[in-house]
Amino acid sequence: MTARVGVITFPGSLDDGDAQRAVRLAGAEPVALWHGSHDLDGVDALVLPGGFSYGDYLRAGAIAAVAPIMTEVKDAASKGMPILGICNGFQMLVEAHLLPGGLIRNAHQQFIRRDQRLRVENASTAWTNGFDEGQEIVIPLKNGDGGFTCSAETLARIEGEGLVAFRYLGVNPNGSLDDIAGLTNERGNVVGLMPHPEHAVEPGFGPDTAEAMRSGVDGLTFFTSAVASLAASVA
């Protein structure tokens, strides 16, 4: 049975179509969902895509975090559904308290776009089980409010409990504490990160590699990992 992965569109979402394409390339069926709905349409997993929900006029993701559908997202998360938040979607997850900490303006106060090296710190989540712990990957990054911040107590808990999913390598592009690029919850079903894996899923359209220009597809593993996790849960 083909897994069905919902991709939620919020006002201002930019990359919902890209996320749907990534889901399709991973062998699942993408299901378009609307922020104003209370219906998850029976999906098996969820993606909160990147963009600029409500123009990011308040804290990034703050208004989207209280959208009607987020009631269902929180309930699904509590029941173990795999949920991925990308960039603005990551901001929504922390604003909704599904992940700890917060995201603030980049340290240099400028929007940044680059192909970013990451190290996989936790390879046991629903979205990272296809990687190896310590593996280095390259994922496109584009954000203006990507600096991860939290209290010293929260940071100690995050590090102590292994909740860091990804760290920036080579350069910290936004001033994030401890070079944190992405987090997971304790259960491992909710993952959020600032870089955009949906932009590295198809040869010819991803980051450059040593083999060829734009041939990087490290992002596809996020989506195939989730599909594999769903298959294993019903086997």
The values of phi and psi at residue 85, to 5°, are -110, 125
**107 and 145 in contact (C-beta within 8 Å)?**
no
232 Cβ neighbours under 8 A, 6+ residues apart: none
**164 and 194 in contact (C-beta within 8 Å)?**
no
Say if residue 187 is exposed, middle or buried (CB neighbours under 10 Å; 0-12, 13-18, 19+): exposed
Does 196 qualify as catalytic in the annotation? yes
The values of phi and psi at residue 89, to 5°, are -65, -35
Catalytic residue among 35, 95, 198, 199: 198
Instruction: Report the C-alpha gap between 235 and 232 in whole angstroms.
Output: 5
Say if residue 14 is exposed, middle or buried (CB neighbours under 10 Å; 0-12, 13-18, 19+): middle
Catalytic residue among 95, 150, 196, 199: 196
Does 198 qualify as catalytic in the annotation? yes
Catalytic residue among 35, 87, 121, 199: 87
Please give the torsion angle defined by the CA atoms of residues 188, 5, 73 and 123, in that order, rounded to the nearest 10 degrees: 10
Say if residue 25 is exposed, middle or buried (CB neighbours under 10 Å; 0-12, 13-18, 19+): middle
Nearest one of 54, 26, 18 to 140, comparing CA atoms:
18
Q: Which residues are catalytically annotated?
A: 87, 196, 198
